[in-house]
Structure 1
Amino acid sequence: MRYFIELSYKGTNYHGWQRQANGLSVQEVLESALSTMLKQPISILGSGRTDAGVHASQQFAHFDVDNEIKLTSQLLHALNCILPADIAIHTIFPVREEDNARFTAFSRYYQYRIGRQKSPFLADLVYVFRYEVDIERMNEAARLLLRYIDFESFSKVRTSVSHYRCKIEMAEWRVEGPHLVFHIKANRFLYGMVRTLVGTLLDVGQGRMTVDEFEQIILARDRRKAGRSAPANGLFLVEVGYPKEVFMNKSGSIQ
């Protein structure tokens, strides 16, 4: 049987979502907790691979088991007790065998959060950027992203993807209280794409680059033309979109 997990995590202490040899990952910690509680080896697949230091207020993953699991609130409570404080499971629910946390998802929505002043409470959650920026000009450049589909210029060079096409449906900067937040939603994202977009758009906002020059970077399909990558601590995966059929058995979930 296949089950979906809905979870959130603070990525500060992890080398990203995906299990790897050179550091602790969110996937590794979750698999260990699930294997302990279910008394069998559990392997999970997430909706996407967040980078080291990136956070998720909503992430989904799936795992398979031979026999049906008895879903109880006690199971969820026990899992959250053995997980570290910076990872929380919100729900577990059964899905169809063909539902896949990564490939069934049709959208991912990220936010990048910028603060104007240092805060001892938000040091790991907000990028402090004190320079003045022209938000209107940054949004003029961001709107260009909706007109194009190839974003090779904003992808890390060492990546194994077969193509660089992404369909962006939203890209907008908003002032939200004391923070400046970049909202971006697409069917998929390339490795390092959002952080590179943020870094390059900040160059536009500072007047170091024109909107026309930003468009030429998109057309160049060359990472060397884009700006620096913004730090990981300001980036959050906030929503993953699935067809409603995925949630048809969510009434049987634990939460």
Structure 2
Amino acid sequence: MQRYFIYLAYDGTNYHGWQIQPNGISVQECLEKALSVSLRKEMRVIGAGRTDAGVHASLMIAHFEFDDESLDLDFLTERLNRILPPDISVFHVKKVRSDVHARFAARSRTYKYYVTTAKYAFNRQYHWRLYGELDFEKMNEAAATLFRYADFTSFSKVHTDVKTNLCEMMQAEWTQQDETTWVFTIRADRFLRNMVRAIVGTLVEVGRGKIDVAGFQKIIEQQDRGKAGTSAPGNALFLVDVEYPEDIFVE
């Protein structure tokens, strides 16, 4: 069996997340149906991660296996794009080694979260509108303390099926995009369920002066989701990159 990577993007507004759900449509379900029609065989795909309901991806990667090493990958890409709904698009399909797993082989994942301090008709769907003054310098000071820790239980949804809440943080910073828009970029080897949104929500509390930097650290150390802030809305969150070793591809 030949293993393939699918590189895709999606607007998560109309979906109950990436993973197949019993009571709602998911991105994974749509992709599997399109792939099954294209290859005339029931197909399953495994994604690099699980985005929550309403969360977007400008780059998601999923793998599937097929008993044909000579697939016309350009034709398959075009066919998938014709079948998939307008809010899911495939960039390309690539051959990878049979031992490469879209989720477990990933070295890092990067998310971006967008907030705005102004009302603007054309970004309301993809930004979190915040009111009042925010101290982004303090928010960055608090974000920098994330590198001191590995256990992020305080920012994880409870009762999940993961075996560990340990993550290696590689990047966490706020940058100003324009006069009214700020972007939080966070990169780690793995993320817990709801983790990015919980971190953003808690950092906003720092920016509003409700939590100081020492208090933010204490929240992490308590390893209790109930101590952290409310999760930020999912509509402003994007998975933007997944990194893999360079030697995974097959010519």
* TM class, shorter-length: over 0.9
Percent of aligned pairs with the same amino acid: 50
Residue in 2 that maps onto 1:12: 13
Tell me the CA shift for residue 73 of structure 1: 2.9
How far apart are residue 12 of structure 1 and its match?
Answer: 0.4
Report the equivalent of 2:231: 229
* 1:96-129 residue CA offsets vs partner (Å, 9 max, x unmatched): 1001100000100000001122333222211111
Letter in 1 for 2:171: M
Instruction: State the one-letter code of the partner of 2:40.
Output: K
Q: Does residue 55 of structure 2 align to residue 54 of structure 1?
A: yes
Gapped runs of 5+ residues in structure 1? 250-255
d(CA) in 1 for partners of 2:63, 2:220:
34
SS of the residue aligned with 1:43?
coil
Distance of 1:231 and 1:214 partners within structure 2: 20
**Structure 1 runs, 4 residues or longer, greater than 6 Å off:** none
**Deviation larger for 240-249 or 45-54:** 240-249
1:218 corresponds to 2:220:
yes
- TM (normalized to structure 1)? 0.95
Q: Distance in 1 between matches of 2:104 and 2:132?
A: 39
Q: Which runs of 5+ in 2 are unaligned?
A: none
| Secondary structure at the counterpart of residue 169 of structure 1 | strand
| Distance in 1 of aligned mates of 2:100 and 2:76 | 23
Q: Where does residue 31 of structure 1 map in the other structure?
A: 32
> 1:75 and 1:97 mapped to 2: Cα distance?
19
- What is the CA–CA distance in structure 2 between the aligned matches of 1:102 and 1:52, rounded to whole Å? 19
Residues 183-204 of structure 1: per-residue CA shift (max 9 Å, x gap): 1000000000000000000000
| Distance in 1, Cα, partners of 2:14 & 2:73 | 29
1:246 CA displacement? 1.9
Match for residue 253 of structure 1? none
Q: Could you say which residue in structure 2 is the equivalent of 1:197?
A: 199
- Cα deviation for residue 247 of structure 1 reads 3.4
Equivalent residue of 1:219, what SS? helix
The range that moved more, 75-84 or 189-198, is 75-84
| Stretch of structure 1 that moved more, 204-213 or 111-120 | 111-120
Distance 1:95 1:85 in 2: 27
SS at match of 2:4: strand
**Is the alpha carbon distance of 1:224 and 1:118 closer, same or farther for their aligned partners in structure 2, counting shifts above 3 Å?**
same
Indicate how the Cα distance of structure 1 residues 101 and 72 shifts in structure 2: closer, same or farther if over 3 A, else same.
closer
Deviation, 1:93, is: 0.9
Q: How many residue pairs get matched?
A: 249
Q: Which SS does the other structure have where 1:101 is aligned? A: coil
- Give TM-score scaled by structure 2 length: 0.96
Give distance in 1, aligned partners of 2:94 and 2:245: 15
Following TM superposition, by how much is the alpha carbon of 1:54 offset from its aligned partner in structure 2, in angstroms? 0.4
Mapped partners of 1:128, 1:71: distance in 2: 44
Deviations 1:6-28 (A, max 9, x none): 01111000000001101000000
The AA in structure 2 aligned to 1:237 is L
1:53-98: CA deviation from partner (whole Å, max 9, x where unpaired): 0000111000011222422433322210111111000010111100
- Superposition CA RMSD, Å: 1.1
* Paired residue secondary structure (1:199): helix
Whether 1:2 and 2:33 are equivalent positions in the alignment is no
Task: Tell me the CA shift for residue 179 of structure 1.
Answer: 1.2
**Residue in 1 that maps onto 2:119:** 118
Contact 2:154 2:226 in 1 (8 A): yes
**1:88 corresponds to:** 89
Asked if residue 170 in structure 1 is aligned to residue 171 in structure 2, the reply is: yes
Q: Which residue of 1 aligns with 2:128?
A: 127
